[in-house]
Structure 1
Amino acid sequence: MTTIELEEERKEIIRRYRRMLRHAKPVLKEGDAKIIKKAFYTSMEAHQDMRRKSGEPYIFHPIEVAMICIDEIGLGTTSIVAALLHDVVEDTEIELTDIERDFGPKVAQIIDGLTKISGVFEYGTSAQAENFRKMLLTLSEDVRVILIKLADRLHNMRTLGSMPRHKQLKIASETIYLYAPLAHRLGLYAIKSELEDLYLKYTEQDTYREIASKLNQTKVARNNFIKSFIKPIRTKIQTLNYPFEIKGRPKSIYSIWRKMKKQNVPFEKVYDLFAIRIIVDTPVEDEKSTCWQIYSLVTDSYKPNPDRLRDWISTPKGNGYESLHTTVMSKPGQWVEVQIRTRRMDEIAEKGYAAHWKYKENSKGKEKGGGLEGWIGQVREMLEQNDSNAMEFVDDFKSNLFQEEVFIFTPKGDLKILPYNATALDFAFEIHTEVGARCIGAKVNQKLVPISYKVKTGDQVEILTSTKQKPNEGWLKIVVTSKARSRIKDALAEDRKRNIALGKEIVERKVKQMKMEYNEVTMQRLRAFFNQKSIPDLMDKIGKGEIDPKEIKKFQEARDKITAKKKADKISDASTFKKEITKTKERDEDVLYIGEDMDIFEYKTAKCCNPIPGDDIFGFITVNEGIKIHRTSCPNAVELLSNHGHRVIKARWASQKEESFLVGLRIEGTDRVGLINDISKIISEELKVNMRSVSIESDKGIFRGNIELFVQDTKHLDKLIGNLLDVNGVIQVIREDRDK
């Protein structure tokens, strides 16, 4: 670069630094600007010869991460300093001891946490999950580590355009898998929405551009509608004499895309493209009554949908979110979501965790949104007690990130918060591990229910126990909370340990009675004979009586027969050899071209998405079941790509031979006499398709049905769907993913 270009670059760096300092000014105390300046020059000097993939000076990145911490999360001086220095220990010669000496122990602790999790999710190995566990461990030390990490990820996503395509897909999948849900759980709504939008921008580029373009085209009409809608509300709220503002907030591109997919409708049919937000400035003691007053004024102007009222003021969400939501019918006949909240609630909703704690400190113990503190306590407990492998831990943790909550009461009236879809068994473990382990059922509102009962907000639950009860494998399918899963796994592990010890003792005795050597070879043969995945599995089943010890004698008899047969079945000529080769080639499975060299391997189709010839697919190398083929639109695709990218391989159909593949169809429409007969004719007579099952329900002139049938490929399926849509009365036919 020329001297002039370098000088211009340096001026731009200083401009960005000064802008950052101006934005930080409201939170700075005496002496803070000096320490930030020192951190900036330390970072600039450490990164002076480094550039990003875009060609920009590397120092742009820490400055922008610090800006996100200031403007979008609302963090203070310690976080700004840590953001500016977040890469220096890993990428340069500066050491942690230097940071502690120059900037103090708190900044050093945060940098240490960020350095431990650097490169997290690089190659999709279990090491990435272990790193994520380390990141969560910092939650118990200083949550600012994760907040700065989210700011770092957001800036990386904003600048993802300079990365190669395969890196874009990988980083975007990781973002939607863990970082967006984590931002949601920490109450960072704006960051969560932007991460989701950026994920879509780099994974579904055409779809993203199309929705963005249509949103832009409808912007003027939307703004006119919003002005017309809020006019009567504004006049009424002014009578309350509180400062307020009303604004229309467009839904994110990602949420519109999700709605289009879920409802199987085009953009034009998605009606709730925006929400109206009313923000009022009122003293904390008047917040609740003022919000309900405004609700009353809104519903005086527009008729509300009683099923869509959401009161998160009386009982805030677990991430601290407080707001009153209602959906009302506008004059043109369009449903509009209205969100009513105070200025304090709005700041917590937008900036999440940081704003939540700022208000907690200012409220002198009267903070209302204590769900976050409780949740972080649960994370700490989960980390301390969890001894499963890292991948299982991340899956357990991730499954709870996006969950909405239900609010349940104990018999004494104490409130417990659990994830949506939690069961009576989850509630039992929430009370105490022993109560959960001995749970046999529950009384919900004085009515007896099984342990699998899904608790609902407002339920009063009493747990019934028995000393004879103990956890079993089936319980893992009932519970949804990480705490319950962890406790059940601990109990099962203890049981398994006892069973393995007993099984080993039995096998050792039996093998010696048969005058065989008790060694690894014998054990492996015994494992294969009983068709078990591992020797511990075999010992466990013998120990708990699932395999009768008497059956072990049959193992010796079978060995003798195999030895005799081998002597009789030697391949003696070319025809025998050809016969054996033909046997190995005749397989039930179809074949695919798989991998970079497009070779032919054995495979199985994944039951989570049931791919058929013609679908876009990828291969996934499993631990125990070889290669499994998934559709690229499989509900598990994001998780597989983000967690196990190194095990994903290319795949395409090798042939289009006449084979049948099971698919499910959901069919909806208006009912009439003879409709089912017309549908059956299309399926079985015109297209000669075999049906496996059909169930159709009719209610008030509307029918809905589920049909399982066998097709040859996607062309065959598309033709079938097209013919069904031509039937008078049929409105919608959708292919369903289902686990068989």
Structure 2
Amino acid sequence: MDLPVINRLSSALRTRSVVREFGIEALVKVLDEYLPEDQIADVRRAYEFGAKYHAGQNRSSGEPYIYHPLAVARILAEMRMDATTLMAAILHDVVEDTEVSPERVAMVFGKDVASIVEGVTKIEKVEGLSRAELQAESFRKLLLAMTQDLRVILVKLADRLHNMRTLGARDPEKRRRVAKETLQIYAPIAQRLGINTIRTQLEDLAFANMYPERHRVLERAIDDQIGDSRDLIRGVESKLAKALRDEGIGATVVGREKNIYSIYQKMRRKKMRLLQVMDLLGFRIVVAKVDDCYRALGVVHHVYKPVPGGFDDYIANSKANGYQSLHTTCIGPEGHKIEVQIRTREMHHIADSGIAAHWQYKLGSKDGASAPQVRANEWLRSLFDELGTAGSLEFIEGVKVDLFPDEVYVFTPKGLIRRMPRGATSVDFAYSVHSELGDRCVAARIDGSLEPLNTPLKSGQTVEIITARHARPNAAWLNFVKTAKARSHIRNFLRNQREDEAVRLGRRLIEIAMRDLGVPLAKLREDAAEPVLKAYGLKDVEELYAAIGTGERLAPLVARHFLPDQNSPDAETSKAAPLAIEGTEGLVVDYARCCRPIPGDEIRGNVSVGRGIVIHRIDCKHAKARPQDWVPLIWSDKVQGDYLSELRVHAQNMRGLLARVTAEITSSESSIENVQMPDRAGGETIEMRFVITVRSRVHLAHVMRRLHRLDGVEKVTRS
């Protein structure tokens, strides 16, 4: 039989199987359990519309495309979602993949359905945007649509889940890329919204596609370790159920093997081998009332010995997504550790469905949105408050930072609880209380003791922030803050600070350039500068200064536009007065690492786009090419601050030499930023390289003289 015939037969068999599981009749069978007939008819109408416009389109696996949106609707129907959501799920690709317009969808099925479909639809290709930026903008659009209707994300998550289930038809590179995006964004969003039924499936499917070999090895190792766990699970279920009955507690006990990805994450997080991860089995006890949860906990601890430190009370301290449960780890049969979760029926429903819980009931309720939906809306509002002005890539990175599944609970000095992501620091805590508190923090007391601002917080600690009136955010904080709010505020401050410094530097550069050309500085007035601003496409003089200060425009070339005669000599060749460097220019002046200039050196500057002026020593090899790109510089009489310089110390290979050298540098009022030592093996002499801070050439010479006087030191040179 020919290969094309075999492929067609295989595709037909797959389609027949898909029709049985995800066809319209299979969907209607689920809908009959909870939707009235008129709403089921609307869902059928959406199917007929979608089937008409998707006709002739096939998925990579070969079956007709319409079975994908039907499968998405089936996932949502099993979560008991309303008819509007199901219709939008069936139609979610018609705007993106067919000629149907959003207006047509709104006219035929209503504004709510069209709004959800539009929210899920990706942004079309835009010239000038990279693939990553396009994806980030589509994601921002999705979250923005969620602020209007949370059902948008439910459709998107169900769409992603079915795509993950059928990812095997794609090439390996595509599978890894989609799996990575799922683990970084969509599974954490499902976790943040409390939809654990979707989250666990996304995680395991993504793990299997991203790391197929790791998944196979881990799956095989788990099977070997716990063997046939069914008898073990049944035994624990029976024993716990009997003990609970004997105490008069009505409960349902269900056991399961924990999902592979959560085991893998635990191994990575705690640097454990699989043999050390004993709690591979989990049990869930569902009771009627909150009081019964705590009574059941006592019963569990009576039957199986609890592991010290293995208890968490998420009923008293619920998670950010509304999740509530008691967690305890015990020693089960044959020495196996088992994790037991205890919750009420209501908590169980919310834990599985999150924002989708009670959607049908809440549609007609006077109470409005459910608690998980309220929390989700608050989270979205806070995201856009903190990241609304960020660029597309910065926005998506901020969202990733905010999607932390693990949390710690810390206290303010007044005893109020603050929920923070695991790994959060005192700076994150300060910004979570108030942005101004974060901007002005200089130190923190944790449980009464002064600790560095980058110290990770632990549950139960009390944190007190110490502020100073003139304190400002530090760029180094970006290396350790964990929350999107802290990161966003610090970046905004630094961005504004850089713009202010660029404006000041740009003004100085253009004034010098115009003076050298003999152009009156009065021409810099807004009205006189209008033709120049128009030529460069800028709004005002401040923007012109900023462009010069950051190196996007060269001051001599800009100044030339102010000349009355455009045929005058090229400004680049005119003799320019040097710019005085004071050391307070901040982010728009950089000091080259190749030669590390310090006050007292002869210097010149290279105007670099985005970095402003990069200062080099005049004898630096990088300062000799293309002289027209350089700006003459001198050190101001008022120069201040510490500057980095590099020393090479050649000495005899003696015990304790490094300690003596470092002590001498420190006693010379200099700090050591970096030290490098080559391999000592077999040499009588050794070269040590130090990066130190000095105030000037005079200070550097003082340090070098003191090093020369040390026993064993043969030569000290500056790099």
Structures share fold, TM-score greater than 0.5: yes
Distance in structure 2 (CA, Å) of the matches to 1:536 and 1:467: 20
C-alpha displacement at 1:362, in angstroms?
10
| 2:244/2:250 contact within 8 Å kept | no
Partner of 1:625: none
Post-superposition CA distance 1:55-97 (Å, at most 9, x none): 10111101100011121x4422111110000011111122111
| 1:318/1:371 contact within 8 Å kept | no
Partner of 1:648: none
Q: 2:556 pairs with 511, 514, 518, which one?
A: 518
Partner of 2:43: 36
Distance 1:81 1:465, change over 3 A: same
Alignment of 1:305-704 (within 5 A): 305-355=307-357, 370=371, 373-374=374-375, 376-386=377-387, 387-445=389-447, 448-449=450-451, 451-511=453-513, 518-519=556-557, 538=588, 554=604
Distance in structure 1 (CA, Å) of the matches to 2:142 and 2:220: 38
Distance in structure 2 (CA, Å) of the matches to 1:57 and 1:429: 51
SS where residue 154 of structure 1 aligns? helix
| 1:320/1:356 contact within 8 Å kept | no
The one-letter code sitting in structure 2 at the alignment partner of 1:45 is K
Partner of 2:163: 156
SS where residue 475 of structure 2 aligns? coil
Pair 1:91 & 2:100 matched: no
Partner of 1:579: none
Distance in structure 2 (CA, Å) of the matches to 1:8 and 1:396: 41
The one-letter code sitting in structure 2 at the alignment partner of 1:498 is D
| 2:441/2:468 contact within 8 Å kept | yes
The one-letter code sitting in structure 2 at the alignment partner of 1:352 is G
Distance 1:74 1:240, change over 3 A: farther
Distance in structure 2 (CA, Å) of the matches to 1:75 and 1:440: 50
Partner of 2:114: 108
Pair 1:147 & 2:154 matched: yes
Percent identity of paired positions between Structure 1 and Structure 2: 34
Distance 1:270 1:124, change over 3 A: farther
SS where residue 245 of structure 1 aligns? strand
SS where residue 96 of structure 2 aligns? helix
SS where residue 456 of structure 1 aligns? coil
Tell which deviates more after alignment, 357-366 or 469-478. Answer: 357-366
C-alpha displacement at 1:419, in angstroms?
1.7
The one-letter code sitting in structure 2 at the alignment partner of 1:86 is H
Q: 2:244 pairs with 237, 247, 267, which one?
A: 237
Pair 1:24 & 2:31 matched: yes
The one-letter code sitting in structure 1 at the alignment partner of 2:34 is V
Distance in structure 2 (CA, Å) of the matches to 1:518 and 1:549: 25
Partner of 1:278: 285
Tell which deviates more after alignment, 513-522 or 40-49. Answer: 513-522
The one-letter code sitting in structure 1 at the alignment partner of 2:440 is R
Partner of 2:673: none
Distance 1:167 1:325, change over 3 A: same
SS where residue 309 of structure 2 aligns? helix
C-alpha displacement at 1:101, in angstroms?
1.2
Distance in structure 2 (CA, Å) of the matches to 1:141 and 1:436: 31
| 2:557/2:572 contact within 8 Å kept | yes
Distance 1:217 1:335, change over 3 A: closer
The one-letter code sitting in structure 1 at the alignment partner of 2:307 is N
C-alpha displacement at 1:491, in angstroms?
1.6
Distance in structure 1 (CA, Å) of the matches to 2:345 and 2:67: 33
Distance in structure 2 (CA, Å) of the matches to 1:442 and 1:536: 26
User: 5+ residue gaps in structure 2?
Assistant: 519-554, 559-570, 607-615, 627-676, 682-687, 689-719
Partner of 1:82: 88
- How many residue pairs match? The answer is 556
- TM (normalized to structure 1)? 0.66
| 1:27/1:77 contact within 8 Å kept | no
| 2:354/2:372 contact within 8 Å kept | no
The one-letter code sitting in structure 1 at the alignment partner of 2:210 is T
| 2:179/2:206 contact within 8 Å kept | yes
Post-superposition CA distance 1:124-161 (Å, at most 9, x none): 42221121111111221112111111111111111111
Post-superposition CA distance 1:244-268 (Å, at most 9, x none): 2212111112233445556777656
C-alpha displacement at 1:310, in angstroms?
0.9
Distance 1:97 1:458, change over 3 A: same
The one-letter code sitting in structure 2 at the alignment partner of 1:97 is E
C-alpha displacement at 1:336, in angstroms?
1.4
Distance 1:499 1:243, change over 3 A: same
C-alpha displacement at 1:562, in angstroms?
8.4
Distance in structure 1 (CA, Å) of the matches to 2:282 and 2:373: 26
Partner of 1:48: 55
- TM (normalized to structure 2)? 0.67
C-alpha displacement at 1:551, in angstroms?
7.6
Distance in structure 2 (CA, Å) of the matches to 1:8 and 1:161: 13
C-alpha displacement at 1:417, in angstroms?
2.2
Distance in structure 2 (CA, Å) of the matches to 1:443 and 1:269: 36
Larger Rg: 2
Distance in structure 1 (CA, Å) of the matches to 2:622 and 2:437: 54
SS where residue 436 of structure 1 aligns? helix
Distance in structure 2 (CA, Å) of the matches to 1:87 and 1:243: 46
Partner of 2:531: none
| 1:503/1:541 contact within 8 Å kept | no
Q: CA RMSD in A?
A: 4.5
| 1:438/1:466 contact within 8 Å kept | yes
Partner of 1:597: none
Distance in structure 2 (CA, Å) of the matches to 1:540 and 1:8: 63
Distance in structure 2 (CA, Å) of the matches to 1:190 and 1:277: 14
SS where residue 440 of structure 1 aligns? strand
Pair 1:176 & 2:183 matched: yes
C-alpha displacement at 1:224, in angstroms?
1.7
C-alpha displacement at 1:270, in angstroms?
4.2
C-alpha displacement at 1:329, in angstroms?
1.2
Tell which deviates more after alignment, 383-392 or 492-501. Answer: 383-392
Distance in structure 1 (CA, Å) of the matches to 2:185 and 2:467: 37
Post-superposition CA distance 1:602-656 (Å, at most 9, x none): xxxxxxxxxxxxxxxxxxxxxxxxxxxxxxxxxxxxxxxxxxxxxxxxxxxxxxx
The one-letter code sitting in structure 2 at the alignment partner of 1:465 is T
